[in-house]
Structure 1
Amino acid sequence: MRSWSSPSVPALDVAGPPVVLHDVATGRRRTTEPDGPARLYVCGITPYDATHIGHAATYVAFDLLVRAWRNAGHEVVYVQNVTDVDDPLLERATAVGTDWRALAERETELFREDMTALRVMAPDHFVGAVESIPLVEDLIAELEARGTTYRVDDDLYFSVTSDPDFGAVSGWSRDEMLRVYPERGGDPDRPGKKDPLDCVVWRAERPDEPAWDSRFGRGRPGWHIECTAIAREHLGGSFDVQGGGSDLVFPHHEMCASEAHAATPGTPFAQTYAHAGMVAFDGEKMSKSKGNLVFVSALRHAEVDPMAVRLRLLREHYRSDWEWTDADLFTAVDQLDTWRRAVAVGSGAPSEPVVAGVLAALADDLDAPTAVAIVDRWAADTLGVSGLADTSDRHAGDAVSAVVDAALGVRL
């Protein structure tokens, strides 16, 4: 699948520190220590509607990680999937009376446009579920050979008890899992399952649904197995960071890890699990099912500068849950204008502490709010708002503009 074009990013004269992330699986901070290129997998969209602010917050968050790694001197291999065949997509296509393939391509293209506008670095591998079916088939065959799958009617299930570490990613109790599972695509009450938490890896063909030939019969992949197969293919048996929204901790990331563990016992799937918080609007989590969405494309078409949208997102720590308001967006619009006026001065307050501070903040669990505050103080000093203007740094504007672009992704 075609990705989008990455923005041109300035090269900095100084390197950033090693990147530390909060690891959801252990609840502790962990210094990422890539062996070779830093390897990142972020779960992508199911393309049945346009990119909303919740999506944007997640992908901007992991864009900060890509940038922090690169600024620390690492090469990066970044993989993102697109679930371009799944129940929500098929249901949406039926509801609006269009072909599911056309809907998926249209919304995927809109997502590409939104990511380009927000200056998000493109993944090296942008992989659709449909094109990954051969990879899924091979992985299921591995699991089958190890005795970790079984049939319920014509569907093929993965047995979660085959992984002794099942539950280690989320840390949830069984009761918590059973409560949430049906809300997030699971079928705990299906007769014939060995365990209510077992997940489908190959869904047999249903009437009027797309299906593909396989050694398991005609059908299509389950949700979780898609990401497991893609990550193993492009990142190897174990990789540095698994990322996504916090609503993916269970069941999605838990199931992905267990499938990988069962296929390759003793090999961890991801070294670190990092998750972005949820964005609310009108008092509830922003979601397609509730319809309380703010679309990136709608803001773009209303001539809101995408850099102001990105800056609004950067004002929140990526792990925080927060609420979107128009007032906060307008604040970000004004803030962006202030930054641009400050760098346009050319000379200004000393830039060296700004560059070092921004890079350090982003390396410290992607602390964008602290980085934003550092640039705010520099802009205020440079414009004389605080009465501390210092014009001794003749190249301050260029240096600050470069680090804001390279580390925060905001083009000034």
Structure 2
Amino acid sequence: MLKIFNTMTREKEEFKPIIPNEVHMYVCGPTVYNYIHIGNARSIVAFDTVRRYLEFLGYKVKFVSNFTDVDDKMIKEANREGITVPEVADRFIKAFYEDIDAINVQRATINPRATDNIPEIIDFIKDLVAKDYAYESQGDVFYRARKFKHYGELSDQNIDQLVEGASEHVGDAEFAKKQDPIDFALWKKAKPGEIKWDSPWGEGRPGWHIECSVMSTKYLGDTFDIHGGGQDLEFPHHENEIAQSEAKTGQKFVNYWMHNGFVTVENNEKMSKSLGNFVTVHDLVKKTDPQVLRFFLSSTHYRRPLEYSQSNLQKAADNLNKIKTAYNNLKFRLDGATDDDDADIKAQVIKIETDFKTAMNDDFNVQNGLTEIFNLVSLANNYAASETVAEIPANVILKAMVDLTSILGVKLDDQKDLSDEIQKMVDERDQARADKDFATSDKLRDQLKDMGVILEDTPQGTRWHIND
């Protein structure tokens, strides 16, 4: 039985989807004015891991994640470069896909853009104005936060204690137009030279919060299963989404709210673009194995903070290498394996898989899940070291390793093949060793190493893999 920690109730709750065997899930996406940094990637990977596990359990997942492709930051970047806002968005959306592909994140079912949904956003706001949940002021439209009786419940804040200007997306100039300091913008009047659209309130553009209410309900319905994002989005962004959506529809917006922890750097400081202490995925994958980065990001429980450092990246690399080596060693033993079966080995695998599911069913506890993966690694190593290996149980172990690690985004079964040339060199080295021609053997080993080929001499023969 899967249980999810619901930020709204602050309890672990049994997961019951609205539609049996289906999950409708929305995760707030990036503002596409720059490359994503490791903090952004942590949220992306966390919810990709959640999605993968739900699919492992047999659910069909409809996964929606937006692109914020118009806001103050987008306009500022476009002006700085002397290009249009859509041109900035197009470039960084392309880069976003390149970066998430590199770290093996499944693409969303739908990645809607705010600017593709302007008519729907205007209609949504018109509905809120008609219901007196919103008002126009000098070309802007604001939401009456105090009118929504549940405002502040998600972030566990008293409405009278909320800090003015809690969102970095709202400028100080807006406050003079507000009837109440905690009201927030749904529509912003365009300044001279800014990107804009016609509306009943004049030329302008959407506020930040409204786009997610519009796009999530458009693609997933008035009420859907899971809404995710970073802890920094609890207030005001997700709080405002709830207020907007439930005021319009009269329905509960989301059944399960999930929020991932921050990535921290030195002195436990949150990594963010605003603090200037960020490392982009775009740069990091050029000098770090993307699989190592993915494993690093996915191997800590999603609600816990994750400390980014070179030493922690190296620990992830070492642990991932242990998993890959165990997999490759056992796969190598399939050459010459017997046709026998082994009920005990298969029973051990079943127990490990069961214990893995027990761990992951407890609010996606990947750290306890990793314990079971390493139990599988130990089983693979021990069996690979056996005098004889049977094909059926070996394949059971290998399949389990692929299935469980794939939930963390690790690709064990995507190994590069050696070319005929490299295979010939491996065979020549084996013959040189047999002839005790160690000079030739060492020379060939060094040549293979320079080509990125790692050799491992085992009692069963020489096994190899390409160091990627």
TM over 0.5: yes
Q: Shift in Å at residue 250 of structure 1?
A: 0.2
**Residue 244, structure 1, aligned to residue 247, structure 2:** no
**Residue 264, structure 1, aligned to residue 249, structure 2:** yes
Q: Which of 294, 298, 321 is equivalent to 1:314?
A: 298
Paired residue secondary structure (2:324): helix
Larger relative contact order (Cα-Cα within 8 Å, sequence gap ≥ 6): 1
Q: Shift in Å at residue 251 of structure 1?
A: 0.2
Q: TM-score, structure 2 length as denominator? A: 0.79
Paired position in structure 2 for 1:399: 399
Paired position in structure 1 for 2:193: 208
Paired position in structure 2 for 1:95: 80
Q: Which of 313, 320, 325 is equivalent to 1:336?
A: 320
Q: Is the 8 A contact 2:164 2:182 kept in 1?
A: no
| Structure whose alpha-carbon radius of gyration is higher | 2
Q: Which of 255, 258, 261 is equivalent to 1:277?
A: 261
The one-letter code matched in structure 1 to 2:15 is: T
Q: Is the 8 A contact 2:353 2:372 kept in 1?
A: no
Distance (whole Å) between structure 2 residues aligned to residue 106 and residue 389 of structure 1: 56
Q: Shift in Å at residue 215 of structure 1?
A: 2.5
Distance (whole Å) between structure 2 residues aligned to residue 168 and residue 188 of structure 1: 27
Q: Shift in Å at residue 237 of structure 1?
A: 0.6
Q: Do the aligned partners of residues 389 and 85 (structure 1) sit closer, same or farther apart at CA in structure 2, a change above 3 Å counting?
A: farther
The one-letter code matched in structure 2 to 1:102 is: E
Paired residue secondary structure (1:262): helix
CA displacement, residues 6-48 of structure 1 (integer Å, 9 cap, x when unaligned): xxxxxxxxxxxx4321111110111221122211010000011
Paired position in structure 1 for 2:358: 360
CA displacement, residues 225-272 of structure 1 (integer Å, 9 cap, x when unaligned): 10000011101110011100000000000000000111122x111011
Q: Do the aligned partners of residues 158 and 365 (structure 1) sit closer, same or farther apart at CA in structure 2, a change above 3 Å counting?
A: same
Q: Shift in Å at residue 79 of structure 1?
A: 0.8
The one-letter code matched in structure 1 to 2:402 is: A
Paired position in structure 2 for 1:6: none
CA displacement, residues 125-181 of structure 1 (integer Å, 9 cap, x when unaligned): 100110011110111111111111112211011111221111121112336531671
Q: Is the 8 A contact 1:211 1:219 kept in 2?
A: yes
Paired residue secondary structure (1:144): helix
Q: Do the aligned partners of residues 113 and 167 (structure 1) sit closer, same or farther apart at CA in structure 2, a change above 3 Å counting?
A: same
The one-letter code matched in structure 1 to 2:8 is: A
Paired residue secondary structure (1:63): helix
Q: Do the aligned partners of residues 299 and 74 (structure 1) sit closer, same or farther apart at CA in structure 2, a change above 3 Å counting?
A: same
Paired position in structure 2 for 1:9: none
Q: Shift in Å at residue 275 of structure 1?
A: 0.3
Q: Is the 8 A contact 1:21 1:29 kept in 2?
A: yes
Paired position in structure 2 for 1:10: none
**Residue 31, structure 1, aligned to residue 29, structure 2:** no
CA displacement, residues 174-217 of structure 1 (integer Å, 9 cap, x when unaligned): 36531671546365971242221111101111112100112332
Across the two proteins, how many residue pairs are aligned to each other? 392
Distance (whole Å) between structure 1 residues aligned to residue 169 and residue 301 of structure 2: 25
Paired position in structure 2 for 1:14: none
CA RMSD in angstroms, aligned pairs only: 2.4
- Summarize the alignment of residues 9-408 of structure 1 with structure 2, pairs less than 5 Å apart: 18-36=1-19, 37-174=22-159, 177-178=162-163, 181-183=166-168, 185=170, 187=172, 190-265=175-250, 267-283=251-267, 284-302=269-287, 304-344=288-328, 345-346=330-331, 350-384=348-382, 393-408=393-408
Distance (whole Å) between structure 2 residues aligned to residue 324 and residue 390 of structure 1: 43
Q: Is the 8 A contact 2:3 2:14 kept in 1?
A: yes
The one-letter code matched in structure 2 to 1:101 is: P
Distance (whole Å) between structure 2 residues aligned to residue 106 and residue 404 of structure 1: 35
Q: Which moved more, 1:52-61 or 1:390-399?
A: 390-399
Gaps of 5+ in 2: 334-344, 413-468
Q: Is the 8 A contact 2:151 2:159 kept in 1?
A: no
Paired position in structure 1 for 2:417: none
Q: TM-score, structure 1 length as denominator? A: 0.89
Q: Which moved more, 1:311-320 or 1:227-236?
A: 311-320
Q: Is the 8 A contact 1:40 1:241 kept in 2?
A: yes
Paired residue secondary structure (2:79): helix
Q: Is the 8 A contact 1:46 1:83 kept in 2?
A: yes
Q: Do the aligned partners of residues 396 and 334 (structure 1) sit closer, same or farther apart at CA in structure 2, a change above 3 Å counting?
A: farther
Q: Is the 8 A contact 2:70 2:115 kept in 1?
A: yes
Paired residue secondary structure (2:166): helix
Q: Do the aligned partners of residues 282 and 89 (structure 1) sit closer, same or farther apart at CA in structure 2, a change above 3 Å counting?
A: farther
Distance (whole Å) between structure 2 residues aligned to residue 389 and residue 316 of structure 1: 37
Paired residue secondary structure (1:161): helix
Paired residue secondary structure (2:197): coil
Structure 1 outlier segments of 4+, above 4 Å? 186-189, 387-392
The one-letter code matched in structure 2 to 1:45 is: P
Q: Is the 8 A contact 1:238 1:268 kept in 2?
A: yes
Distance (whole Å) between structure 1 residues aligned to residue 174 and residue 158 of structure 2: 18
Q: Percent identity?
A: 31
The one-letter code matched in structure 1 to 2:326 is: A
Distance (whole Å) between structure 2 residues aligned to residue 368 and residue 342 of structure 1: 20
Distance (whole Å) between structure 2 residues aligned to residue 176 and residue 326 of structure 1: 40
Paired residue secondary structure (1:290): coil
Distance (whole Å) between structure 2 residues aligned to residue 118 and residue 205 of structure 1: 38
Q: Shift in Å at residue 222 of structure 1?
A: 0.5
CA displacement, residues 323-379 of structure 1 (integer Å, 9 cap, x when unaligned): 200111111112111111111213789422332233332222111111122212322
The one-letter code matched in structure 2 to 1:335 is: N
Distance (whole Å) between structure 2 residues aligned to residue 135 and residue 191 of structure 1: 28
CA displacement, residues 63-109 of structure 1 (integer Å, 9 cap, x when unaligned): 12212222222211111110000111222233344432222111111
Q: Is the 8 A contact 2:136 2:201 kept in 1?
A: no
Q: Which moved more, 1:346-355 or 1:150-159?
A: 346-355
Q: Is the 8 A contact 2:165 2:172 kept in 1?
A: no
Q: Which moved more, 1:207-216 or 1:178-187?
A: 178-187
